[in-house]
Amino acid sequence: MIDEFAKEYLHGELRRVRTSLVWKLDGLPEYDVRRPLTPTGTNLLGLVKHMATLEAWYFGAVFDRPFPEPLGRWQDADGSDLWVTATETREQIIAFYQRACEHADRTIAALPLDTPGHVPWWSHPDVKLFGIMVHVFKDTTRHAGHADILREGLDGRTGMAAGQLEQTDPAAREAYHAVVEQAARAAAALES
């Protein structure tokens, strides 16, 4: 009974954070969802593409339930899943993510938490479904956090979902920012 509760709870949280990741694209022009927003090239649509690939691998081949579409081989991973070509549309990437998540959901629903799997690119490759669920949840949460920061930098939007979006008073935000900046400068002055 506790296994089913844990599985459902973790699966529900994974679904929630998946939705948040995709929501970060809403209302942005093509350039803003694709352009590199960090020195390493991190971009919003690339994060979604990356998570689609990871879900397809981890809940597919790892449990001998291959994703039904062609994927690059993990041995050949070259970072191309972290950005989107000019000919790949936002709709294609989101649809790929949705299909990968649906495939993952079917794997999660079909297998018990202690089902063994094999991740050949890990140093300790023998895993259980529970461990993969935690791993993918952590990765998705991490990248949704990246997306949250990137989106805030673009237009100030923060939050997990449209229904939770709070209207921010720009003057209050600037005042808060100034307080944090002042504290940082004061700490730096104490250090020197």
In order of their start, the domains of the chain are 2-167 (1.20.120.450)
Residue 175: its pLDDT value, please? 87
Which phi and psi (to 5°) does residue 159 adopt?
115, 175
For residue range 60-98, what is the model confidence (pLDDT) as tens digits? Answer: 999 999 999 988 766 566 778 889 999 999 999 999 999
Residues with Cβ within 8 Å of residue 37, at least 6 apart in sequence: 43, 44, 150, 153, 154
Residue 135 CB burial class (10 angstroms; 0-12, 13-18, ≥19): middle
Residue 70: its pLDDT value, please? 86
Confidence of residue 170 (pLDDT cuts 50, 70, 90): confident
Question: Region 38-47: what's the mean pLDDT?
Answer: 96
pLDDT > 70 in the chain, percent: 94
Residue 166: its pLDDT value, please? 62
Residue 78: its pLDDT value, please? 73
Residue 92: its pLDDT value, please? 97
CB 72 within 8 A of CB 80: yes
Distance CA 176, CA 192 (A): 25
